[in-house]
Structure 1
Amino acid sequence: MAVTERDPHTGYLTTGHEWNGIKELNTPVPRAVYFFLIATALFSLGYWILFPAFPLGWTYTKGLLGVDQRTTVNEALQRASLDRESWTKQIETNSYQAIQADPALMTIVRQTGRALFGDNCAACHGLHAEGSKGFPNLTTESWLWGGDPETIAETIRVGINSSHPNSRVAQMLAFGRDNILPRTDVENVVSYVQSLSDPAAVKQVPQQRLDSGKTIFAANCTSCHGDDGKGKSDLGAPDLTDHNWIHGGDPQSIFTTVWHGRQGQMPAWENRLGSLERKILALYLVDLRSRKQ
């Protein structure tokens, strides 16, 4: 049956369907819908023709442009390899001072060094190289074996008390446990050592005890730590006059160190990190230290 009724409000014909007094209008589809459907179909056809798109069982349509993700990734890797070859050669051949004076190379050092440090060093020294009890803070000027980049790179290469034949070797004697000094002398030298870095902490300690500790220190400790207690980097002996204590600078921690001794260990990284990576790490640590101060 032909529908001839027209809705008086919109002017559209009705379909003849009615539900509870509500009549369905025969509204035409908007032209925009047809436009976008056609545009989508044309785009799909063009994409199918230009790019790899349609599976053919054992292969696929290659597309007129011959572009695929594998090609894109390979080209990106080739570009990255060429870029890396350029800056790695400069870092390998330039001196530490020349690299430090080159802002572009130092940007690469900071980016690459951070990743290297996080992967290899952060487990002991912390993500920000600030160390923890038993592991030195690498953002200060207090370095056991010296803090210039050449020395740092060598320490990374051979380690400390490691299995490397050229390892740096250092040991703090167990003055109490091995009966080198009696307990009273250990207690006196502990007070004196604490006074070197924190005089206010020993204000209540009798002067006689500090004088005795100074005498004991001169007889037993100066060969490694120096007459002034500032340490000797050629022996890996720490500076006792600053506040950068590896095992703690409170009386109990110092007593434990003097009584039981210390022999820290750092693995040698020569077999895991190449000379380029070690050089980048050394530069990264020096730069990190300068930015922390």
Structure 2
Amino acid sequence: MADKHIDEISGVETTGHEWDGIRELNNPMPRWWVWTFYATIVWALGYTILYPAWPLVNEATKGVLNYSSRAELAGDLEGAKIAQGEVIEKISKVSLEEILADPQLAQFATAGGASAFRVNCVQCHGTGAAGGQGYPNLNDDEWLWGGDINAIYQTIAHGVRDPVDADTRVSEMPAFIDILQPEEVRQVAAYVVSLSGTPRDPSMVEPGQQLYADNCASCHGESGEGVRDLGAPNLADAIWLKVQGEAEIAQQIQAPRHGVMPAWNARLSNETVKQLAVYVHSLGGGE
């Protein structure tokens, strides 16, 4: 005992360990901390006995309580489905107008439609439904086929140019490459641009207007306002779905590009399609 070394500054006994003249003080952990540490060991041992803990080749130990977080989640989901079942059943039976008129149904359908949109529609229309080159913006009030709730439902349910849906929306713009001469195509493009902007050569607008009246007005309207029954877009609002600029407009006249939207009634339940229609209608551009 006499050979114990006491640190002169702190007055604490050292352990006898020394490194480069530095001695280690013998400061034991507080007893409350030690007992807490022992308690965590006991708790961990009890946990591994009661609950799944140790991984095996194909599964983990089940524990004497046979608890499963997956089973608990499945039970919660089943309970949620049962709770939602009454509302979903009501949505399936009432019209879209009745859904919009009922605040509870409208709120439920909008939330459900938003979830379905994020899973099925954002790949083309974007997370904010603003669309992009070749994909319509669903937030504005420009609709090829109409923006009332029933028109939106029809488009979602049966798609556009879906090859396997008999009720799909169909519109085909002919290729004018064999109908108009290249110079005439450029004249029509100049006139179309003049409806919302300034063409590169204003002298081409007047002959282009006559060519437009003879070849394009039957679908796009006399003033380029579009015809929804035909899915013909408005050409006077400077909102372009597939092209940008006068040269691309001329190319679209010669060799039009046609997009395809799948018919979702073959992939989703009717209740989900209704909710999607309600959600899209709620984005701000619904009529």
Q: What is the TM-score with the length of structure 2 in the denominator?
A: 0.77
Could you tell me the percent identity over the aligned residues?
Answer: 35
- Contact 2:190–2:201 under 8 Å retained in 1: no
Change (3 A) 1:70 1:194: closer
Which of residues 265, 270, 285 in structure 1 aligns to 2:280? 285
| Aligned residue number for residue 62 of structure 1 | 64
| Aligned residue number for residue 202 of structure 2 | 205
Change (3 A) 1:139 1:12: closer
| Aligned residue number for residue 89 of structure 2 | 89
| Aligned residue number for residue 237 of structure 1 | 232
Which of residues 208, 215, 223 in structure 1 aligns to 2:210? 215
Encode CA deviations 1:53-82: one digit per residue, 9 max, x unaligned. 698x9985534xx75434422321222222
1:4, distance to aligned residue in structure 2 (A): 9.2
Amino acid at match of 2:252: T
1:141, distance to aligned residue in structure 2 (A): 1.5
| Aligned residue number for residue 224 of structure 1 | 219
Q: What is the TM-score with the length of structure 1 in the denominator?
A: 0.76
| Aligned residue number for residue 139 of structure 1 | 139
- Contact 1:224–1:231 under 8 Å retained in 2: yes
Change (3 A) 1:42 1:249: closer
Alignment: residue pair count: 279
Encode CA deviations 1:232-252: one digit per residue, 9 max, x unaligned. 111111111112111225211
Amino acid at match of 2:139: T
* Unmatched 5+ stretches in structure 2: none
| Aligned residue number for residue 149 of structure 1 | 149
Q: Which deviates the most, 150-159 or 118-127? A: 118-127
- Contact 2:110–2:279 under 8 Å retained in 1: yes
- Superposed counterparts of 1:163-202, under 5 Å: 163=163, 164-175=165-176, 177-178=177-178, 180-198=179-197, 201-202=198-199
User: Aligned-residue CA RMSD in angstroms?
Assistant: 3.7
1:204, distance to aligned residue in structure 2 (A): 5.6
| Aligned equivalents of 2:202, 2:146: Cα separation in 1 | 33
| Aligned equivalents of 1:249, 1:11: Cα separation in 2 | 84
- Contact 2:161–2:260 under 8 Å retained in 1: yes
* Unmatched 5+ stretches in structure 1: none
- Contact 1:152–1:282 under 8 Å retained in 2: yes
Encode CA deviations 1:103-157: one digit per residue, 9 max, x unaligned. 5555544544344334333333333332333332222222111112211221222
| Aligned equivalents of 1:70, 1:170: Cα separation in 2 | 49
Larger radius of gyration, structure 1 or 2? Answer: 1
Partner SS state of residue 142, structure 2: coil
Amino acid at match of 2:274: K
| Aligned equivalents of 2:158, 2:241: Cα separation in 1 | 20
| Aligned equivalents of 2:53, 2:189: Cα separation in 1 | 80
1:93, distance to aligned residue in structure 2 (A): 3.1
Partner SS state of residue 83, structure 1: helix
